[in-house]
Amino acid sequence: MLTVHNAALRGRPGRWTLTAERGRLTSITPDSGAASGLDAEGNLVTEPFVDAHLHLCKVHTLDLAGGGPLAAYTNGTMGAAMDAIDGAAAVKAGQTEEAVTVRARAALVESVRHGVRAVQAFADVDPAAGLTGVRALLALKEEFREFVDVRVVAFPQDGLLKAPGTEELVEEAVALGADVVGGIPWIEFTDAAAAEHVRRMVALARRTGRRVAMLVDDAGDPGLRTTETLAAELLAHDMAGRASAQHARAMALYPEPYLRRLTGLITRAGLGLVSDPHTGPLHLPVFPLTDAGVPVALGQDDIEDAYYPFGRHNLLEVAFLAAHVLGPNRLDDLYDMVTTTAARVIGRETDGLTEGAPADFVVLDGTTIREALTRHNPPRHVVVGGRVIASTNSLTHFPAFPGKSA
Ligand SMILES: [Zn+2]
């Protein structure tokens, strides 16, 4: 049994005691003053973090890729985004399963430390990478099963029709156990090929009982329309509510009447969106879509790879950065976007902090959301299944503090 006392909870004034038994939350009651178990010291206890979008197969590859792709991806209105993808592909030749495993494992250890309970993890599938990334991530999924729910996406990063042989590889990846069917329709050479890309991947997902996660419209071109194509195909295949769309940066440039029409379609298709304002100069309209009832999550996207030079799989940091791009006035919404809403976007059932729910939670370093975001420190404690799986305590010593005698 685990008891956590002296906890602050979101939206519930006062101090609280949580108890967990056999992996479930058994009670949440006002603090009685008893000091048994873990002391939250007045810090916030919340649902754990969920990352709806991470390219886990290419973490820590920036040094291999060089700075060229990064410069192309982040320049201006992202006109060269496709060049960045081509440049980044060069690192895949010669990539071994072991090398991917070592780098991705380091990132997943950081996930545990930062209280990330689930990750929608993209693994490149293409003639150059083969199934190296998928095999590595599926093995890590097993290795981390108790701590992190790794949902492996078979992701045709270089296109489907553009890179012949890829479709068969994606099918093989799904047969190996990949959880989600990926896609990146906007990089096909024609709109017709993009539509075909979406159609085939949604059909594969339906056939195999998988969800869909696609990177859509990731460049500064208002003519890109694959978010619409995806939503329409979901409806056509009876797959509403079974997909998420990542990036969709072109949405930032859509005329308002079209954006409104698209919002209606997205809603009907039950499509969740994932934005990552820290990894590119454009981002989808996060708050207008949230206000329209569309579930929008924030994702880490990249950790030290060809597209983004930072990242520690700290989703408080992701929300902190988003607060600088999107404005600091809706911190609670941003926090939902890396916790409960993100869980919804990837189709992970979450019961929240209620009696009977899985005893998965974080004890933050901060008594309020703002304080936790300001510090963006790892949680003081990460609890999964009623068990503490990581604790962090940072202390600074001031041996020569002004006024202190030597
Ligand atoms: Zn991405």
Give me the helices (H) in 246-383, please: 256-268, 286-291, 315-326, 331-337, 340-345, 369-375
278 and 371 part of one domain:
no
Say how many Å lie between the CA of residue 53 and the centre of ligand 1: 7
Question: How much distance in Å is there from the Cα of 159 to the middle of ligand 1?
Answer: 14
The total domain count for the chain is 2
Regarding whether 170 and 41 lie in a shared domain, the answer is: no
Q: Are 20 and 359 contacting, i.e. CB atoms less than 8 angstroms apart?
A: yes
pLDDT tens-digit profile of 159-198? 999 999 999 999 999 999 999 999 999 999 999 999 999 9
For residue 243, being part of any structural domain is answered with: yes
- Given the structure tokens 């003639």, which residue do they identify? 127
13/39 same-domain check: yes
- Indicate which CATH number applies to the domain containing 153: 3.20.20.140
pLDDT at res. 275: 98
* Range 33-41 average pLDDT: 89
Residues 245 and 298 in one domain: yes
How far does residue 216's CA lie from ligand 1's centre (Å)?
Answer: 10
* Same-domain status, 240 and 387: no
5: CA distance to ligand 1 center in Å? 39
Q: How far is it, in rounded angstroms, from Cα 246 to Cα 51?
A: 12
| pLDDT given for residue 406 in this prediction | 54
209: exposed, middle or buried (Cβ count in 10 Å: 0-12, 13-18, 19+): exposed
Confidence of residue 81 (pLDDT cuts 50, 70, 90): confident
CA 279 to chain CA mean position, Å:
13
SS3 316: helix
Say which residue the tokens 């990460």 belong to. Answer: 382
Task: Specify the pTM.
Answer: 0.95
> Which pLDDT band holds residue 60 (cuts at 50, 70, 90)?
very high
Q: How far apart are CA 376 and CA 319, in angstroms?
A: 9
For residues 355 and 209, membership in a common domain is answered with no
- Domain ranges, residue 384: 2-47+351-391
Cα 86 versus chain centre, distance: 23
Q: What is the phi/psi pair of residue 188, to 5°?
A: -65, 160
Averaged over 308-320, what is the pLDDT? 97
Residues 114 and 255 in one domain: yes
Q: 174 alpha carbon to ligand 1 midpoint, in Å?
A: 20
Residue 21 Cα, ligand 1 centroid: separation in angstroms? Answer: 38
Measured in Å, residue 385 CA sits from the centre of ligand 1 at 30
How far is ligand 1, taken at its centre, from the CA of residue 215, in Å? 7
Q: Tell me, in angstroms, the distance from the centre of ligand 1 to residue 377's CA.
A: 24
**Ligand 1 centroid, distance to 72 Cα (angstroms):** 15
pLDDT at 45: 98
In contact, 393 and 380? CB cutoff 8 Å: yes
91 SS3 class: helix
Q: Which residues place a Cβ less than 5 A from the ion ligand 1? A: 301
- Going from the Cα of 139 to the center of ligand 1, the distance in angstroms, rounded, reads 22
Query: Rounded to the nearest whole angstrom, what is the distance from the C-alpha of residue 122 to the centroid of ligand 1?
Result: 8
